Structure 1
Amino acid sequence: MARPSTRRPGLSGALSAVMHLDDYLIGVPDPSQDGPDSRRHVANRFIILAVLGLAISNIIAAIETVVMIQLVMTGGELSVSGMIADSNLPVLIVAVVAALAVGGALSVYLLYPQLTWFVKAVPATPAQRRSIQLMPLQQAGSALLTWAVGAIVYIPIGLGGSAVEFVVFGSAFLMAGTSAGCLSYLFVERMSRPLVAIALRDGVLGRAILGVRERLLAVWIVFCAIPLFGIIAINVGRLAGWLPDNRMLIDTPTVVLAIFCLLGGIRATVLVSRSITDPLREIRTGMEQLQAGQVHPVLDVYDSSELGILQQGFNDMVAGLAEREQIRELFERHVGDGVARLALEQGAGFHGENAFVGVLFVDIQGSTKLAEREKPETVATLLNSFFAIVAEVVDRHDGFINKFEGDAALAIFGAPSAVDDPAGAALAAARDLYAELETLRPLRFSIGVSAGTVFAGNIGAVTRYEYTVVGDAVNESARLSEAAKSVRSHVLASGAAMDASEDESSQWNSIGSLVLRGRAVPTKLYTIATDAADPSWWSLKSLVGTAIKIPGMMLGVREQR
C-alpha cells in the first residue's frame, strides 16, 4: 500500500518540475524588473532553445526520410551498410553543408532584427510587432528552404539519373521539408512568446495572425496528409513497376511510416495543445482571481491567434471593470454611497419622495475673518480637518452629508437611506460633534438640529442635477445654527426634533422659544443638558438679535457673507 503512495508524489513532483522548467523557458520578463539585462537573458535563452529545437526537428525529419527511402527502394529491407553504400557520401555532405549554410543564414537574418530590438528595450513599432508575430511562419519558410537547397544539390548530382530515383527522392525531400517546416512553426511559436508578449505591450492586436486553424492545419499536413500521401505513392509506384514489391511478411514501409506518424503526432499534439490550453488556462485563472475580488489581473498577450485577441479582450474587460470601480468610488466620495447606490438603482431622471428626516446644519463661525487673516492653504487644511470630523460623526450615526457649503455642512438622517429614528440620530450626532469639534479650538462652530417632512430627490436641469432635500426643516436647521452662536455650547435643537425622539429627551433641556425670521410661530429651543444649568451661558436678548440677522435659507443654500 505504501509503494503506490510513494510513486504518486514522485510522479507529481516530476510533472511539477517539468511545468516549472517549461514556465522558465518561455517566461515573460516581469514588467517591474524589465530592462536590458533581463531581456538579454531572455534573448540568449531563446537563441539556445531555437537552435536546439530547429536542429532536432531537422535531424528527426532527416532520419525518417533516409529510413523511408531505404525501405521503399529495397522492398522493405533496412540496413545501415546498405544506406551508406547506396548514398553518394561526398555529394550528401556537400548538400547538407549547403542546406545548413543557406537555411541557417536565413534564420539568423530573420531573427537578428527582432532580437536586436528586444535587447534594446525600446517600444516596438507596428512593423516590428507584425514581424515578431510572423517569426514562426518565417522560420517554417527557412526550414523549407533548407530542404529545398539540399534537394537541389543532392538529387541532380548524387543520384544515378533514373526517373524513379528522381521521383522518389524528390517526393521524400518535399515531404520531409514540409514536415520540418510545420514542426519549426509549432516550436518557434511557443518559444517566441516572451518576445511577442513584450512587443504587444506597446500596441493592440487588431486581428488574428497565424491562428488556431493554421496550427491545426500544420499538424494535419505533417501527421495525416503526408503519411497518407506517402502510402498512396508507395502503392501506386509498386503498381506501376517503379518500386520493388515488398519482400517481408508485413508491408514494412507503410508500418514504419505509421510508426513515425504516431511518434511524431505526440510531439505535435503536445505543442499544439499547449499553445491552445496555456492561454485558456491563464484566462481561467484570471477569471477566478477576478471573481474572488482580490486583484485586477493583467495577462501577457503572447498569442497572435484568436486566443491572443481573447487575452487582450480579457485585459480590456479587467481595465474597464477597474475604471468602473474607480468611477464608482469617486462618485460615492462626491455624492455619498447612499446617493450613488440610489442613482445606480433608479437610473437617470428626476426621482424623489417625501420623507421624514432629521437635519443637522453645522457652521464655522468667523470664517470670513479667518480667510482674510490666514493663507488659503492654511484655511483649506483647517476646513479639511473640520469636515473630516463632521463626516466621521455623521457616518457613525447613519447620516448622509448632503453638501459641503464652503465653511458649513448639511447632514440628513433618514434619506436616501432610511434609519429607525431620524431625529434621534441627528440629535445624537450633534452631541458627538459638540464633543469632538472641541479639538479644533480656537476654531468656533455652531450647530442647528431640526426634523420634519421634506422632499428628498434630484433637483436641477435635465443635463445637470443633484440629490438634495427641500423643506422647512432644512431652513430651520440653518437658522438654528445661526442662533446657536449666542449659546455657549453652540448647539441648538428645535422642538420638532425633540418631540420626534424620546431617546434623546433626557440629553437636552429647554431654554425657551424664539420666533425665527420667516416663521409665524415660535420655535421651541433646546440645548445640550450640560449647558442648561447655567443661565449665564445663553441670553434671550442675544438670541433675538441674532435671529434678526439670520439670512434666508432657500433649498439648503446659504447667502454669501
Structure 2
Amino acid sequence: MSISSSSLPPSRRRGTHLPEWFYKHPVLVTGVSIFIPQLIGSCFNIAYNAVHVERLLTTDQLGLFYKTVAIYNVMVYPAALIVWCCLLRYVRRTYLQILSGEMLETHELETARRVVINLPWYGSGYGALGWFLCIPVFLGSLASHETPLDPRVYALLPISFAVSGLIASTHSFFILEMLAQKLLYPVFFQQGSPSNTSGARPLSLRARGLLWVLSAGVCPIISLLLLRLAPQQEPEFPWFEISVGVIGIVFGLTTAWLGGRWITRPVEDLRDASRQVSEGNLEARVDLLRADEFGPLIDEFNHMVTGLREKERVEETFGRHVGKQAARMILEGDLGARGFETQVTMMFVDIRSFTSRCESTSPQKIVELLNRFLTEMVEIVESSGGMVNKFLGDGFMAIFGLTSQPEVQQKEAVEAGQKMLARLIELNEQLKAEGTVPLEIGIGLHSGPAIVGSIGSPRRMEFTVIGDTVNVASRVESLTKQLQSPFLITNATREGLNKEFLCTPHPPQEVRGQSEHLVVWSVTLD
C-alpha cells in the first residue's frame, strides 16, 4: 500500500516528527516496527544464555539446546507471524476502503476501529506468548536428556526468557501504540473518537506507568540481582552485568522520553488551546486522537469550544435584534417570563422634522441616512453602558442600569447623550459637505422603576421595558421641541448626577398622562 501524506488531514499530521516516508506505508511501518524490540530482546537473550546458561550445559545438552532453538523458531514464530500478517492485511484492506471514500457498514467500521486500538495488545501479546512458552519448552527439552541438568539452569533460563520477553513485549506495545495513533488513527477516526469505541482496550495512564517501570527499571534490576546471587564458577570481570545495567539505563531513558511525550503532548495542546480560547479565539481545537483517558478530555474540550462558538453565533445574531446585552441576559436565563422590577434610566431619541424630510427624499436615501445615523448613535449608547431596546422609526429607545454598576446609570446616560450631540455635529458637517440637510434630534431621560424582561405569549415573546418611567421619558423627549432644547432630563435623573454636569432648569411642564407638572432640566453640551 502506498499513499501520499497529503491525503491525510493536515491537522492530524501537524506536530508529528516522523520521517515523510512513514506516511507512505503506514500499515507496513506499524506492523514491521514490532520486530525492533523483539530483536533487541533476542540479542539480550542470546548474550545472557551465552554467558550464564550455556557454560552450565554439557556438550550433549548444548546440542539439544540448539536443536530446540531451531525447532521452536521454525514452528512457533512463523505461526505467530502468519497470524500477525493476516491481522495487518485486514487492517490494510479496511484502511484503503476508508481512504478511497468507500462507505462501510457501521459494525464493520466499529470492528476495524476496535482492531486498530487493540493492535498493540495483539502484537505484544503474540510476542509475550512466544517468549514465555520458551520457559516450559526449553526446560522440558533439557530435562528430558539422560544427563542430569545443573540446578542453576532451572533459575537462570527462566530469568533469561522472562526478562527478555518483558523488555521486548512492553516496548512492542509502546511503539505499536505510538505508530498506530500517528499513522492509522487519522484515517480510521476521521468521523469519530477513539475514546468512544466499544470493545477497545486502551492502556490506562496508571497501567502505562506501571508497565514503563516494569520494563525499564524492575526487569534490569531483578536480572542484575539474580545474576549476582547465582553461583559463579570462577571470579571474572562482571562485563555482562555492566552491559545489562547500561541497557537498563538506555531503556529507562527511552521509555521516560516516550512517556513524557505521550503525557505532555496532550497537556501542552490543551494548554495552548485553552489560552487561545481565553484570548477570544473560538476556532481553537485540539486535533489529537487518543483512546486513553485523554481522549474524553480532548473530546469534551472540543465540544465545549464548539458550544461556546455556537453560543457566540446565536448571541451575535440574536443581539442584532434585541441588543447584545439583552441577548446575553436572555440566553443566560436572567430574564424570567414575567420579567423583574428594577431601577432604570430610560432614554428616548428622535429626529426632528423627519416626516417632512421623507416627503421630499427617496426611500432608499432615507434608509441610508437612518442607518448612518443609528450606527453612530447605537455605538455610543452601547459603549456607555446602555442598551438600545427598540428602533422607533426615526429614533430609538435605550435602557441604562442593567449593568453590574446600576448606581452610575444616570451618569452613563447623560454622558451618552452629550457624546451623541457632539457626534451629531461631526455627522452634520459631513452631510453639509454632501449637500444633505443636517439632522436635529431630541433626547429625553427619566429615571425610575420599571419592569424589564421578556413579555408576550408562549409562542412569541419580546424583550422590553414597561412602566410609567418609560412613558415619562417619552414625554420628556417630546418636550425638546416645545422648549427648543435638544437634551432634557427630569429631576429623578438629575438627582443621580454630581455637580460636574451643567444643567439649566425649566418651569414645571404639563405632561400628558401625568397628574402633576414635571420639572425638567436642559443639559449643556461640554
Q: If the length of structure 2 is used for normalisation, what is the TM-score?
A: 0.65
Change (3 A) 1:480 1:310: same
Counterpart for residue 162 of structure 1:
145
Counterpart for residue 192 of structure 2:
203
Task: Work out whether 1:264 is the aligned partner of 2:251.
Answer: yes
Deviation at 1:186, TM superposition (A): 0.6
Change (3 A) 1:525 1:218: closer
- From 465, 468, 491, the equivalent of 2:465 is 468
Task: Work out whether 1:102 is the aligned partner of 2:86.
Answer: no
Larger Rg: 1
**SS of equivalent to 1:299:** coil
Task: Work out whether 1:218 is the aligned partner of 2:211.
Answer: yes
Counterpart for residue 442 of structure 2:
448
Contact 1:200 1:301 in 2 (8 A): no
Contact 1:209 1:305 in 2 (8 A): yes
Contact 1:453 1:473 in 2 (8 A): no
- Supply the distance in 2 between the matched residues of 1:312 and 1:321 (Cα, whole angstroms): 14
- From 59, 69, 87, the equivalent of 2:49 is 69
Counterpart for residue 172 of structure 2:
184
- Supply the distance in 2 between the matched residues of 1:443 and 1:200 (Cα, whole angstroms): 64
Letter aligned with residue 427 of structure 2? E
Contact 1:516 1:523 in 2 (8 A): yes
- Supply the distance in 2 between the matched residues of 1:333 and 1:428 (Cα, whole angstroms): 22
Deviation at 1:312, TM superposition (A): 2.4
Letter aligned with residue 183 of structure 1? H
Task: Work out whether 1:140 is the aligned partner of 2:120.
Answer: no
1:525-540 to 2 correspondences below 5 Å: none
- Supply the distance in 1 between the matched residues of 2:374 and 2:179 (Cα, whole angstroms): 58
Unaligned runs of 5+ in 2: none
**SS of equivalent to 1:202:** coil
Letter aligned with residue 137 of structure 1? W
- From 318, 326, 331, the equivalent of 2:305 is 318
Contact 2:80 2:126 in 1 (8 A): no
Change (3 A) 1:387 1:123: farther
Change (3 A) 1:368 1:216: same
Change (3 A) 1:320 1:295: closer
Task: Work out whether 1:309 is the aligned partner of 2:296.
Answer: yes
Deviation at 1:282, TM superposition (A): 2.6
- Supply the distance in 2 between the matched residues of 1:75 and 1:109 (Cα, whole angstroms): 43
Change (3 A) 1:121 1:33: farther
- Supply the distance in 1 between the matched residues of 2:343 and 2:77 (Cα, whole angstroms): 92
Change (3 A) 1:448 1:425: same
Change (3 A) 1:32 1:369: farther
Letter aligned with residue 193 of structure 1? Q
Contact 1:57 1:183 in 2 (8 A): yes
- From 72, 76, 87, the equivalent of 2:66 is 87
1:140-539 to 2 correspondences below 5 Å: 140-144=124-128, 162=145, 176-194=164-182, 195-197=184-186, 199-204=188-193, 205-206=195-196, 209-223=202-216, 246-249=232-235, 255=241, 258-259=244-245, 260-293=247-280, 297-326=284-313, 329=316, 333-336=320-323, 347-348=334-335, 350-355=339-344, 358-362=347-351, 365-366=354-355, 384-395=371-382, 399-405=386-392, 408-412=395-399, 418-420=409-411, 422-423=413-414, 425-426=416-417, 429-430=420-421, 432-433=423-424, 436=427, 439=431, 447-459=441-453, 461=455, 466-468=463-465, 470=467, 471=469, 472-477=471-476, 479=478, 518=513
Identical aligned pairs, as a percentage?
Answer: 17
- Supply the distance in 2 between the matched residues of 1:358 and 1:335 (Cα, whole angstroms): 16
Contact 1:299 1:311 in 2 (8 A): yes
Contact 1:246 1:252 in 2 (8 A): no
- Supply the distance in 1 between the matched residues of 2:251 and 2:487 (Cα, whole angstroms): 88
Change (3 A) 1:433 1:111: same
Contact 2:335 2:454 in 1 (8 A): no
Task: Work out whether 1:126 is the aligned partner of 2:110.
Answer: yes
| Count of residue pairs brought into register by the alignment | 477
Deviation at 1:426, TM superposition (A): 2.9
Please tell me the root mean square deviation across aligned C-alpha atoms, in Å: 5.8
Change (3 A) 1:110 1:384: same
Deviations 1:162-185 (A, max 9, x none): 395997878855664454232211
Letter aligned with residue 234 of structure 2? M
Bigger drift between 270-279 and 444-453 goes to: 444-453
- Supply the distance in 1 between the matched residues of 2:367 and 2:167 (Cα, whole angstroms): 74
**SS of equivalent to 1:387:** helix
Change (3 A) 1:263 1:142: same
Contact 2:341 2:449 in 1 (8 A): yes
Deviation at 1:420, TM superposition (A): 2.9
- Supply the distance in 2 between the matched residues of 1:59 and 1:210 (Cα, whole angstroms): 24
Contact 2:348 2:473 in 1 (8 A): yes
Contact 1:110 1:138 in 2 (8 A): no
- Supply the distance in 1 between the matched residues of 2:489 and 2:144 (Cα, whole angstroms): 119
**SS of equivalent to 2:209:** helix
Contact 2:384 2:415 in 1 (8 A): no
- Supply the distance in 2 between the matched residues of 1:444 and 1:32 (Cα, whole angstroms): 59
Contact 1:363 1:409 in 2 (8 A): no
Deviations 1:16-69 (A, max 9, x none): xxxxxxxxx9xx8424999xxxx9966326456536632321211111112222
Deviation at 1:94, TM superposition (A): 4.4
- Supply the distance in 1 between the matched residues of 2:516 and 2:160 (Cα, whole angstroms): 110
Deviation at 1:199, TM superposition (A): 4.0
- Supply the distance in 2 between the matched residues of 1:457 and 1:479 (Cα, whole angstroms): 23
Contact 1:449 1:494 in 2 (8 A): yes
**SS of equivalent to 1:297:** coil
Q: If the length of structure 1 is used for normalisation, what is the TM-score?
A: 0.62
- Supply the distance in 2 between the matched residues of 1:424 and 1:274 (Cα, whole angstroms): 56
- Supply the distance in 1 between the matched residues of 2:412 and 2:74 (Cα, whole angstroms): 98
